[in-house]
Amino acid sequence: MQFTGCGTALVTPFQPDFSLDEAALRKLLQRQICAGVDFLVPCGTTGENPTLTRREHLRVVEITLQEAAGKMPVVAGAGGYNTQEVMDLARELESVGANGLLSVTPYYNKPTQEGLYQHYRAIARSTRLPIVLYNVPGRCGTNLEPSTVKRLAEIDNIVGLKEASGNISQMAALANAVPDDFAILSGDDAIALPLFALGGRGVISVAANEIPAQMARLCQHGLRGEFAEARAIHRKYLPLMEINFIESNPIPVKAALALMGLLEPVWRLPMVAAKAENLERIRAVLQSLQLVERNSVAVSSFAD
């Protein structure tokens, strides 16, 4: 099984002029690698991929591959609502050396279940790379149902699913529907622990941007069935997992990383800085977990 354990849904750092901050990206990647995460996921939703040009998208993946240097897989974001464009992107990502693809369900055009099946079948035929499906109905407006995932799991290079429906009953049905070697990964940090009990194989984590070592340990314990140890980590960091979604992702996580001194507080429109009151709440959580000092960056420095 290629993609199990803790995968980090990487942010994309920008410079104050909104250009890609390659130096910050490399530092973030080295922090992930040294912390022992299991795989890296650049250019997903957390990476603000809708606002990246194709050239930038490929460049972020190239840098991630360079820093990973074969130490861990790189699963690059490759989703969208235009099947042909996703197929083209999949081929380009294969050509630059990505180890796998994370492909979100088409958003806005709301295909039927048969449309979703045919969409992913076409992408799978366009590349030799292993594909992880991504179901996040809260953002995409469509739900990838267990019966459809079961059909897709029969395709050789569709190897897993990032499940972010928040529906535990659906996750249980998925675990019963797919083969044992098909990786069900949590798309929500707060649900990773219960998903392990259902047979989940890991998480593609937002919180791992901030606490990579801790999320990696949570997954290690979960995969070994060491639930008391996993619960202790989950309970300690649940406030961080929750505060990361006080506003639309990746607004809070990038604010937190900026408070931690790891990147500039820059988002590309239509993402904007967090509200001042929410930034204070983010800071309070970071301070409670000793992730920032009491004299960390002032709120005023995050103003638009």
Instruction: Enter the tokens of residue 71.
Output: 């130490």
Are the C-beta atoms of residues 249 and 48 closer than 8 Å to each other? no
* Catalytically annotated residue among 162, 236, 237, 275: 162
Nearest to 292 by CA among 255, 238, 249: 255
Length of the chain in residues, anyone?
Answer: 304
* Catalytically annotated residue among 117, 134, 237, 254: 134
Are the C-beta atoms of residues 231 and 193 closer than 8 Å to each other? yes
Catalytic residue at 117?
no
Catalytic residue at 27?
no
Q: 158-170: buried (b, 16+ CB within 10 Å) or exposed (e) per residue? A: bbbbbbbbeeeeb
Give the integer Cα–Cα distance in Å for 135 and 33: 26
Instruction: Enter the tokens of residue 278.
Output: 């929410």
Give the integer Cα–Cα distance in Å for 97 and 106: 24
Active-site positions read 134, 162
